[in-house]
Amino acid sequence: MTAILDIADDDLYAVTQPGVINGDLGRAVAARGMFYPPDPASFEISSIGGNLATNAGGFRCLKYGVTRDSVLGLQVVLADGSVIRTGARTVKNVVGYDLTSLFVGSEGTLGIITEATLRLRPQPPGLPATFVATFPSLPAVGGAVAAIVRSGLGPSLLELMDQASIGIVENFRPMGLDRTAAALLIGQSDGDDASGAAEAMAALCLRNGAGLAVSSTDPAEAGMLLEARRLHYHACEAKGRVLSEDIGVPRSRLAELLTGIAHLAAASGLEIATVGHAGDGNMHPAIILPRGDDEAIGAAQRAADQICRLALRLGGTVSGEHGIGTLKREWLGAQLDAPTYAAHRLVKSAFDPFGILNPGKAL
Ligand SMILES: Cc1cc2nc3c(=O)[nH]c(=O)nc-3n(C[C@H](O)[C@H](O)[C@H](O)COP(=O)(O)OP(=O)(O)OC[C@H]3O[C@@H](n4cnc5c(N)ncnc54)[C@H](O)[C@@H]3O)c2cc1C
């Protein structure tokens, strides 16, 4: 099911089948002057169906929202074989329960999405402007993120790499990144006065303790910086086996989260390299293990548990965008209280009384 069925230029939506690759949809609508905002780092390999089922986020969701914010309606096959349509092709629609939002992020446990009507946006005018800043400490980068988010400058992305990640990416592909920095912040602004906004964000970084902060409208420079962030997972995989975590905290607690992870790495002797969507408070610590070291798997799992516990202690979530799947099932009960968990079970049994849809996943 890999067809893009319709692109409606005037009404700014696309109708796709679920097997369409995110990047292919992005290119198809860009050719017509529009864009589809959800851009998980896996955009070249992940499908619209998978993005919908996990409510995927990405670099741009800071400004344009997560996948759920770009869905107008769905066609879904239910467990009994019946086919339903949720939502509408209009911008506004309040007829019936919001089943579209219920299916988005349900990890295939309530129905199988067979078609989606996705909201598009006009491409922002001009070129985006990018800034990069290096910080001598984690509290300083936390302060800068909070200041940028509060400023109203509206970054279209705000990504962070910690010191371990900078070193690993630099070893994998030398780009001249500052290995001595405690953290690197990469931000972008699009639309009117993008370069003014990027300059103002760079200035906020300096005011909050950045050692260096520069902005640029050169697409090649921006591409190189974003490539450094995108290469993180591949650079970690080149070193060993990777357990990639996904937790979120309120943005004001970001520095505490990063400091806690750094302490955990030092205490456990594990290599943990953290990157993430700083503007959303959503971090991806990658725990890297030597291949073939089965004992280390237990230690990595314990470290992942401690990271989830830390996120909850800071008022956060055990999954920002990757979902529960099978790996985090036990953590669902830690985050949801008993009546809330029971409400989830009620929804599941109403849609899938015989438990045939993705059995054992998520709940
Ligand atoms: C290198 C890398 C970077 C990543 N970066 C990000 C990121 O930035 N943001 C992010 O959110 N995630 C990220 N991910 C995680 C992952 O790519 C996303 O969750 C993505 O949305 C999954 O899409 P997929 O096509 O691979 O789905 P799959 O892994 O095939 O499926 C995911 C789940 O959705 C269900 N599903 C799939 N299709 C349907 C359908 N049609 N109807 C109902 N259920 C369905 C499956 O049963 C499964 O439970 C990353 C992963 C990697 C490996």
Residue 296: pLDDT above 90?
A: no
CA-CA-CA-CA dihedral for 4, 38, 262, 149, to nearest 10: 170
Would you say 115 and 18 are in contact if contact means Cβ atoms under 8 Å apart?
yes
Residue-level pLDDT at 143: 96
Cα 14 to middle of ligand 1, angstroms:
20
Ligand 1 within 6 A of CB of 38:
no
Per-residue pLDDT tens digits for 49-89: 999 999 999 899 999 999 999 999 999 999 999 999 999 99
In this predicted structure, what is the pLDDT of residue 293? 85
What confidence score (pLDDT) does residue 221 get? 87
Query: For the chain, how long is the longest CA-to-CA vector?
Result: 60
Nearest CA to ligand 1 atom 31: 50
What local confidence, expressed as pLDDT, does residue 204 receive? Answer: 98
Q: Tell me the mean pLDDT in the region 322-350.
A: 94
How far, rounded to the nearest angstrom, does the alpha carbon of residue 276 sit from its chain's CA centroid?
A: 8
What pTM value is reported for the model?
0.94
What is the mean pLDDT of the segment spanning 170-185?
96
In our burial notation (b when 16+ CB lie closer than 10 A, e otherwise), range 193-219 reads ebbebbbbbbebbeebebbebbbbeee
15: pLDDT strictly greater than 90: yes
Indicate if the pLDDT at residue 183 is higher than 90.
Answer: yes
* Tokens standing for residue 53: 């089922």
Residue 60, classed as helix, strand or coil, is coil
| First-to-last C-alpha distance (Å) of the chain | 27
75 lines ligand 1 (CB under 6 A): no
Model pLDDT, residue 292: 86
pLDDT for position 363: 86
Ligand 1 site, residue 73, Cβ cutoff 6 A: no
Interval between CA 47 and ligand 1 midpoint (Å):
7
Q: How far is the CA of 328 from the centre of ligand 1 (A)?
A: 15
pLDDT in tens, 189-233: 999 999 999 999 999 999 999 999 999 999 898 888 889 999 999
Counted residue by residue, the chain has a size of 363
pLDDT band for 294, please (50, 70, 90 cuts).
confident
Question: Per-residue confidence at 109, pLDDT binned at 50, 70, 90?
Answer: very high
**What was the pLDDT predicted at 260?**
97
**Ligand 1 pocket check: which of 42, 61, 226 to mutate, most ligand atoms within 8 Å of Cβ?**
42
- The region, left, alpha or beta by phi > 0 then psi within -120 to 50, assigned to residue 34 is beta
Ligand 1 within 6 A of 57 CB? yes
Atom of ligand 1 nearest to the CA of 277: 8
C-alpha separations of 218 from 58, 128, 195, 298 in Å: 22, 9, 10, 45
Cβ contact 247:283 at 8 Å? yes
HSE-up of residue 318 (Cα within 13 Å, Cβ side): 18
CA distance linking residue 355 with residue 363, whole number of Å: 11
| pLDDT tens string 78-96 | 999 999 999 999 989 999 9
Measured from the CA of 66, which atom of ligand 1 is nearest?
11
| Ligand 1 center from residue 235 Cα (angstroms) | 20
Specify the pLDDT at position 118.
98
Indicate whether 246 pLDDT > 90. Answer: yes
- Encoded tokens for 33: 């002057």
pLDDT confidence of residue 295 = 84
Strand pairing class (129-135; 212-216) = antiparallel
Mean pLDDT for the chain overall: 95
Q: Is 108 in the pocket of ligand 1 (CB under 6 A)?
A: yes
- Closest atom of ligand 1 relative to the 57 alpha carbon: 11
